């Protein structure tokens, strides 16, 4: 007997040969026995793996589909794909990838062919959902063997929002660069180590093309002293978080050049380094532009003053004058009057309003206000006026106060220590309307000044109270005489006795009750009653008389208005 063990297609085969019998005759029989347990185990393992794979496939939160590479048919899809595309599973299983993929058929077939042979990542496509919307996607695919066939498993990642954000960022960067290139200044983005990251602006101001700066440090481009100075400005701005201004003296090519510079800390990080923007403007060019603007502002001021003084007679001449200023007097408008000065106490005939600074500072203020859209600024002997067009209908009163607050904020940005008062007129049209605007704005700003000694404020003509009746400001000797006549005795009493009866009088004139006045001044109600009687006796008046209260109220407001000059 002969035993033979053979392996055929993963199965064990046992062959038994009985070659002779007792009589020595030929082979009598052949016995074959096969053991296929190995193949069954292999098939069982494959089946288990396919079951595990399908569980993972169905449970994945990522949109996933199985594609037949020969036909492009969608053989299977998980629940995430059903939710994403909007089709049922049955609808997807009778569709091809070409029905949802917006691309030429040849391009799709080529990608499927590549993926069926090799792992192929991040293929960008556009997919169409059932509702008709188009989405930007990236497809991550690879071959997978299921039930003896090579199929394609694809993961679909929606990148629509990311693409839009990237497009918006590119557009924003393009606009930023276009804007930076359009201005005459030159700008640099520099990190905290002094390395140039980007350059914008007028390359005529640079010692070499802007692209040659990139990647270099300040010390590789400028002299040591200049580089040390700029690097210190950058680092100080980044550390403090506050922009720095000044005159930059830069050594370029053996020659000293001077620039008006600003260093502004930025919020983004590049390669782990904080950054700042350095903006440099040619001082000579800035001076020329400023002088030209000052000339135009003064010319405008002279012309408008002539109009208000009645020196422009004919309608034709007036129309030409307005057009040269870009001023349409027929449009509804209001005027804001700016006051950051006190009454002139020298000459009794002097007009209100010599600005408490020299002409240069006044010019600077007018230039700053000229940046406000839809506003025309001019200066007169009694200060600065701003004409604003009223194009906002029923809310003109509220909006005019918003614009006046913007004007005040604009001035305080340059010098936060100023006390800025703004008066606002009603809305009018025409030459007479402009004159009325100026008178009303003056009354309103006087009211604003009388209500606050420090800090400034905004008052509309509607809120001006008694000052609506002041056509010309009471100043100098006239103001002093009026104040002395009506409340002079009380001022003298307060000064001599070191009391504050004037403050109590103001509260009483405002109509405050005894209790309210007592609480505000931290007094006992009986003390307020006593003061009421004492004030009436000192001034020899009846505080309950209506006309007397008006007279004292005006005297009190004029006193506050002239407080620094009395």
pLDDT per residue over 505-548, tens digit each?
888 888 778 888 888 888 888 888 888 889 889 888 888 888 78
Mean pLDDT of 244-251: 72
What pLDDT, on a 0 to 100 scale, did the predictor assign at position 521?
82
Phi, psi (deg, nearest 5) at residue 19? -80, -40
What pLDDT, on a 0 to 100 scale, did the predictor assign at position 145?
78
**Domain(s) of CATH 3.30.450.20: residues in the chain:** 43-158, 165-286
- Quick one: pLDDT band at residue 181, thresholds 50, 70, 90? low
What pLDDT, on a 0 to 100 scale, did the predictor assign at position 274?
92
What pLDDT, on a 0 to 100 scale, did the predictor assign at position 344?
35
**Residue (of 105, 100, 157) closest to 128 by Cα position:** 100
More confident residue, 34 or 434: 434
Contacts 24+ apart (CB under 8 A), 120-129: 124/159, 125/101, 126/101, 126/102, 127/85, 127/100, 127/101, 127/102, 127/156, 128/100, 128/101, 128/102, 129/84, 129/85, 129/86, 129/100
Residues 6+ apart with CB under 8 A from 360: none
Residue 27 pLDDT > 50, yes or no? no
Ranges 422-436, 492-506, 550-564: which has the least confidence: 550-564
Mean pLDDT of 184-204: 81
More confident residue, 337 or 565: 337
Q: Is the dihedral of CA 477, 478, 480, 486 positive or negative?
A: positive
Task: Tell me what percent of the chain is helix, strand and coil, each rounded to the nearest 5.
Answer: 50, 25, 25
Q: Buried b / exposed e across 386-412, counting CB within 10 Å, b at 16+?
A: bbbbbeeeeebbebbbebbeebbebbe
Residue 355 Cα distances to 39, 214, 422, 565, angstroms:
104, 48, 14, 15
Q: Is the dihedral of CA 19, 20, 24, 27 positive or negative?
A: negative
What pLDDT, on a 0 to 100 scale, did the predictor assign at position 129?
92
CATH of the domain spanning 165-286: 3.30.450.20
- Quick one: pLDDT band at residue 14, thresholds 50, 70, 90? very low
Distance of CA 63 to the CA centre of its chain: 38
Q: Buried b / exposed e across 187-216, counting CB within 10 Å, b at 16+?
A: bbbbbbebbbbbbbbbeebbeeebeebeee
More confident residue, 96 or 184: 96
Q: Does 43-158 carry CATH code 3.30.450.20? A: yes
What pLDDT, on a 0 to 100 scale, did the predictor assign at position 186?
80
What pLDDT, on a 0 to 100 scale, did the predictor assign at position 192?
92
3-class state of residue 184 by DSSP: coil
More confident residue, 243 or 316: 243
Residue 131 pLDDT > 60, yes or no? yes
Beta strand pairing call for 244-252 and 255-270: antiparallel
Residue 24 pLDDT > 80, yes or no? no
Q: Map 493-557 to HEC letters.
A: HHHHHCCCHHHHHHHHHCCCCHHHHHHHCCCCHHHHHHHHHHHHHHHCCCCCCHHHHHHHHHHHH
What pLDDT, on a 0 to 100 scale, did the predictor assign at position 357?
43
Give dist(CA 386, CA 441) in Å, integer: 10
**Domain(s) of CATH 3.30.70.270: residues in the chain:** 328-469
Mean pLDDT of 217-245: 87
**Residue (of 57, 141, 161) closest to 101 by Cα position:** 141
DSSP code per residue over 352-386: S---SS-HHHHHHHHHHHTTSTTEEEEEETTEEEE
Residues 6+ apart with CB under 8 A from 390: 331, 332, 333, 334, 396, 399, 400, 427
With 0-12 / 13-18 / 19 or more C-beta atoms within 10 angstroms meaning exposed / middle / buried, residue 298 is middle
Fold of 476-565: Arc Repressor Mutant, subunit A (1.10.10)
- Global confidence as pTM: 0.42
Report yes or no: 281 and 259 within 8 Å, Cβ to Cβ: yes
The single-letter DSSP state of residue 350 is P
Residue 34 pLDDT > 70, yes or no? no
**Domain(s) of CATH 1.10.10.2840: residues in the chain:** 476-565
Phi, psi (deg, nearest 5) at residue 303? -65, -45
Give dist(CA 345, CA 564) in Å, integer: 9
Residues 6+ apart with CB under 8 A from 10: 36, 38, 39, 42
Residue 279 pLDDT > 50, yes or no? yes
The single-letter DSSP state of residue 96 is B
CA dihedral 360, 363, 367, 369 (to 10 degrees): 120
pLDDT per residue over 43-69, tens digit each?
565 565 566 566 667 767 888 888 888
With 0-12 / 13-18 / 19 or more C-beta atoms within 10 angstroms meaning exposed / middle / buried, residue 327 is buried
Tallying the residues shown for the chain, one arrives at 566
Residue 81 half-sphere exposure toward CB, CA atoms < 13 A: 27
Residue 351 pLDDT > 50, yes or no? no
Superfamily holding 328-469: Reverse transcriptase/Diguanylate cyclase domain (3.30.70.270)
Give dist(CA 115, CA 138) in Å, integer: 14
- Quick one: pLDDT band at residue 1, thresholds 50, 70, 90? very low
- Quick one: pLDDT band at residue 355, thresholds 50, 70, 90? very low
Give dist(CA 560, CA 64) in Å, integer: 79
Residue 322 pLDDT > 80, yes or no? no
Mean pLDDT of 365-381: 78
């Amino acid at each position: 007997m002969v035993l033979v063990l053979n392996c055929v297609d993963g199965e064990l085969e046992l062959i038994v040969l009985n070659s002779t019998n007792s009589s020595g005759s030929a082979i009598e029989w052949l016995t074959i026995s096969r053991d296929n347990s190995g193949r069954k185990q292999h098939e069982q393992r494959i089946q288990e793996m396919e079951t595990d794979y399908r569980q993972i496939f169905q449970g994945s939160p990522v949109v996933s589909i199985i594609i037949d590479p020969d036909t492009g048919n969608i053989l299977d899809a998980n629940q995430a794909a059903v939710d994403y595309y909007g089709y049922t599973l049955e609808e997807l299983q009778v569709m091809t990838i070409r029905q949802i993929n917006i691309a030429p058929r040849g391009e799709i077939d080529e990608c499927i062919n590549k993926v069926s042979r090799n792992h192929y990542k991040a293929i960008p496509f556009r997919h169409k959902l059932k509702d008709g919307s188009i989405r930007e996607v990236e497809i991550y695919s690879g071959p997978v063997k299921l039930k003896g066939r090579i199929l394609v498993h694809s993961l679909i990642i929606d990148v629509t929002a990311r693409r839009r954000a990237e497009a918006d960022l590119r557009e924003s960067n393009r606009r930023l660069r276009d804007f930076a290139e359009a201005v005459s200044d030159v700008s640099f983005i520099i990190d905290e180590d002094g390395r140039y990251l980007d350059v914008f602006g007028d390359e005529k101001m640079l010692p070499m093309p802007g692209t040659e700066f990139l990647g270099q440090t300040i010390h590789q481009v400028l002299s040591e002293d200049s580089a040390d100075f700029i690097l210190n400005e950058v680092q100080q701005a980044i550390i403090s978080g506050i922009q720095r201004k000044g005159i930059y003296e830069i050594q370029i090519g053996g020659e000293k050049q001077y620039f008006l510079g600003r260093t502004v800390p930025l919020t983004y990080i590049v390669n782990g380094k904080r950054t700042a923007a350095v903006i440099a403007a040619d001082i000579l060019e800035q001076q020329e532009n400023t002088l030209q603007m000052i000339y135009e502002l003064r010319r405008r001021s002279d012309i408008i003053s002539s109009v208000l003084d009645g020196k422009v007679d004919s309608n034709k001449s007036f129309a030409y004058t307005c057009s040269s200023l870009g001023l349409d007097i027929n449009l509804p408008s209001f005027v804001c009057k700016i006051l950051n000065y006190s009454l002139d106490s020298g000459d009794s005939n002097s007009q209100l309003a010599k600005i408490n600074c020299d002409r240069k500072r006044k010019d600077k203020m007018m230039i700053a206000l000229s940046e406000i859209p839809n506003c025309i600024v001019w200066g007169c002997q009694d200060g600065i006026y701003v004409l604003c067009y009223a194009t906002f209908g029923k809310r003109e009163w509220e909006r005019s106060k918003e614009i006046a607050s913007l004007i005040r904020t604009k001035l305080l940005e340059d010098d936060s220590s100023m006390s800025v008062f703004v008066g606002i007129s009603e809305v009018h049209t025409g030459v007479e309307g402009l004159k009325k605007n100026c008178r009303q704005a003056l009354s309103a700003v006087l009211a604003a000044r009388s209500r606050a000694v420090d800090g400034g404020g905004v008052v509309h003509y509607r809120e001006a109270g008694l000052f609506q009746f002041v056509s010309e400001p009471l100043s100098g000797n006239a103001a002093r005489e009026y104040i002395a006549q009506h409340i002079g005795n009380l001022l003298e009493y307060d000064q001599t006795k070191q009391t504050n009866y004037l403050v109590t009088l103001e509260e009483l004139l405002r109509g405050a009750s005894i209790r309210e006045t007592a609480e505000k001044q931290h007094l006992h109600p009986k003390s307020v009653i006593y003061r009421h009687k004492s004030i009436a006796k000192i001034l020899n008046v009846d505080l309950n008389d209506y006309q007397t209260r008006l007279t004292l109220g005006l005297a009190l407001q004029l006193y506050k208005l002239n407080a620094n000059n009395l």
